[in-house]
Structure 1
């Protein structure tokens, strides 16, 4: 069930990244209306959605490199979110100095890291129906 929910989220992020970005801005910024996105910010959100869909839909057949990179990003976000917050702000916004972060931005970034790790873990599990059928046939 969680796999399907995250897969749906990835698809929404690919097709309509702006509402996802707007929601993240409302969570993390005290002044989201002042945020000026860089032109490639929407493509970055779409890329995140593609990674989620790729890993969750392909499961164990997905790219190991993509899974490792998302897992590393998840670990760093979960353990030391501040440098990633700063880096992502400079990549996503043109007016980083004008933005006011809400006090819970670090816990929210840690949760994003846990989300990344969850996607990686779900992509490694053999709970897709075709994987279960394959496993059952091989144990006979």
Structure 2
């Protein structure tokens, strides 16, 4: 179920990245109306959604390098979010000096890191393996 929910989120992010990016801006910035987004920012969000869908929808766990990279990114984001926040701001916005971060940006970034770790773990288990575990759990209940 969690895998399906994350795939649905990824598909939404691919199809409609603007609402996702704008929601993140409202969550993380005191002045989201003053952002000067770079032209490729929405494509970055689409790429994130594509990675989620690709990793989670595979029937076998054959994307180990991408999965490991996503999990590593998540671990770094959980451990030291500030450099990643600053890097992502420079990549996404033209006017980084004008951005006013809300106090909960670091905890929100850590939660995003947990999400990346979760996707990495789920994708490394493979779809068939997790489905068979669900069947075994249902049979024993």
The TM-score normalised by the length of structure 2 is 0.88
Q: Distance in 1 between matches of 2:72 and 2:46?
A: 19
Which residue in 2 is equivalent to 1:113?
113
Aligned CA RMSD, in angstroms, stands at: 2.0
Which residue in 2 is equivalent to 1:93?
93
Aligned length in residues: 134
Matches within 5 A, 1:40-51: 40-51=40-51
Q: Distance in 2 between matches of 1:62 and 1:99?
A: 40
**Structure 1: gaps of 5 or more residues:** none
After superposition, the Cα gap between the structure-2 partners of 1:16 and 1:62, relative to the gap in structure 1 and judged at 3 Å, is farther
Matches within 5 A, 1:59-78: 59-78=59-78
**Structure 2: gaps of 5 or more residues:** 137-141
Which residue in 2 is equivalent to 1:21?
21
After superposition, the Cα gap between the structure-2 partners of 1:121 and 1:115, relative to the gap in structure 1 and judged at 3 Å, is same
1:61 is paired with a residue of what secondary structure? coil
The TM-score normalised by the length of structure 1 is 0.89
Q: Distance in 1 between matches of 2:17 and 2:58?
A: 22
